[in-house]
C-alpha cells in the first residue's frame, strides 16, 4: 500500500511540475510583451506548484504569526528540500542554494528558471556576488530566503548561522526576518528525522520515495514576531540564531514525545491543502 501511494504521488508530482513548467514557458513571452512583469508570473507559477505539492505529499501546515511582506530577507533553519515547498506555499520568495544544485539534472534547470541565487561555498569571494544578487532581488520587491546554517540537518538543534550572506543587510542596516521550521509524522510512521529531514548521506531519489510513502505529516512554520537589525554581520548572525533557536521545536525521533509541537493553538492556521499566498 505504501509503495502504491508513493508511486501515485510521484507521478502526480512529476505531472504537476511538468505541466506548470510548460505553462510558465508558454506564458513568459506574453508576460514580457503585455506587462513586462515576469516576476509576478514567476511567483504565481512557483506558488501554484508549491501549494499543489503540499496537497500531493499530504502535508498539513500550521503557520504562526504573520508572514513578512516583500521585499524582505528571511533567515530560517534548514531541515529538507521540503522547506522550500513549505515556505513558497506561504510567501513569494527567491531562495539561496549551494552552487552544486544548479548542476543537478532537471532540478537544477527548474531552480535556475525560478531565479534561485546560487553561491559557491568553496569560494569566499563568491559571497560578494551573491550579496549583490540578494540586493537586486529585494529591489524587485521580492522576498529572499536564506538557510543560514549552510546545510540541512536532522532537526535536533539549530546549527550556528554563517554570516557571509548577511553582509548586504548588515551594511545597510536592513531588518532581517526569521522563521523556524519543524516536522512531525504520525506515531505509526517512520520518524520525521528519517523520513522528512534530508541530511548525512541520504540520496535524493531514495529519500523522496520514502517521504511519499507517509500517510501524511505535519509541518510547523513559525515566523518571528519582529525583524532583527544589526550593523555587524557576525552580530546579526548571532542574534538571528538566538531568535530562531528560541522558537524552534526539535524534530521528533521514534518513541519520543515533544510537548512543544502544538498544532492546535488559537494562533495557528492549520491547512490540509491549499493556502492563501500571502555562509
Give this prediction's pTM.
0.88
At 40, the pLDDT band (50, 70, 90 cuts) reads: confident
Instruction: Render 92-159 in DSSP notation, one character per residue.
Output: -EEEEEEGGGGGSTTHHHHHHHTT-EEE-TT-TTHHHHHHHHHHHHHHTT-EEEEETTSS---SSSPP
Segment of 113-127, 159-173, 250-264 carrying the highest mean pLDDT: 159-173
Q: Which residues pair with 59 in a beta bridge?
A: 217
147-183, pLDDT tens digit by residue?
A: 999 999 999 999 999 999 999 999 999 999 999 999 9
| CA pair distance 9, 53, nearest whole angstrom | 9
230-254, pLDDT tens digit by residue?
A: 999 999 999 999 999 999 999 976 4
Alpha helices in the chain (DSSP H): 2-34, 38-57, 82-88, 107-113, 126-139, 167-171, 192-195, 204-212, 233-247
Tell whether the model's pLDDT for residue 278 goes beyond 50.
no
At 61, the pLDDT band (50, 70, 90 cuts) reads: very high
The predicted structure's pLDDT at residue 35? 63
By residue count, the chain amounts to: 279
The predicted structure's pLDDT at residue 265? 34
β-sheet with 177-184: strand ranges across: 117-119, 93-98, 143-147, 72-76, 177-184, 217-223, 59-64, 270-271
- Per the prediction, the chain carries an average pLDDT of 88
| CA pair distance 39, 17, nearest whole angstrom | 19
For 64, list phi and psi in degrees, rounded to 5: -120, 135
Amino acid at each position: 500500500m505504501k509503495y502504491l501511494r508513493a508511486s501515485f504521488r510521484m507521478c502526480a508530482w512529476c505531472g504537476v511540475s511538468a505541466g506548470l513548467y510548460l505553462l510558465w514557458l508558454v506564458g513568459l513571452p506574453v508576460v514580457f510583451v503585455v506587462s513586462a512583469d515576469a516576476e509576478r508570473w514567476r511567483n504565481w507559477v512557483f506558488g501554484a506548484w508549491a501549494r499543489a505539492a503540499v496537497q500531493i505529499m499530504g502535508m498539513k501546515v500550521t503557520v504562526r504569526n504573520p508572514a513578512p511582506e516583500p521585499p524582505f530577507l528571511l533567515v530560517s533553519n534548514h531541515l529538507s528540500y521540503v522547506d522550500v515547498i513549505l515556505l513558497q506555499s506561504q510567501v513569494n520568495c527567491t531562495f539561496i542554494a549551494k552552487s552544486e544544485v544548479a548542476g543537478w539534472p532537471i532540478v537544477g534547470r527548474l531552480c535556475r528558471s525560478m531565479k534561485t541565487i546560487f553561491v559557491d561555498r568553496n569560494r569566499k569571494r563568491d559571497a560578494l556576488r551573491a550579496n549583490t544578487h540578494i540586493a537586486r532581488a529585494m529591489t524587485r520587491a521580492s522576498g529572499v530566503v536564506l538557510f543560514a546554517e549552510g546545510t540541512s540537518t536532522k532537526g535536533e538543534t539549530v546549527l550556528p548561522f554563517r554570516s557571509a550572506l548577511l553582509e548586504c543587510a548588515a551594511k545597510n542596516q536592513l531588518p532581517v526576518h526569521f522563521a523556524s521550521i519543524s516536522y512531525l509524522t504520525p506515531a505509526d510512521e517512520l520518524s520525521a528525522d528519517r523520513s522528512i529531514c534530508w541530511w548525512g548521506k541520504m540520496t535524493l531519489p531514495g529519500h523522496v520515495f520514502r517521504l511519499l510513502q507517509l500517510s501524511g505529516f505535519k509541518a510547523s512554520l513559525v515566523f518571528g514576531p519582529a525583524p532583527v537589525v544589526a550593523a555587524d554581520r557576525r552580530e546579526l548572525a548571532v542574534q538571528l540564531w538566538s531568535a530562531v533557536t528560541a522558537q524552534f521545536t526539535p524534530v521528533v525521533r521514534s518513541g519520543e514525545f515533544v510537548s512543544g509541537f502544538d498544532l492546535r493553538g488559537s494562533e495557528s492556521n492549520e491547512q490540509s491543502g491549499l493556502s492563501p499566498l500571502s555562509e
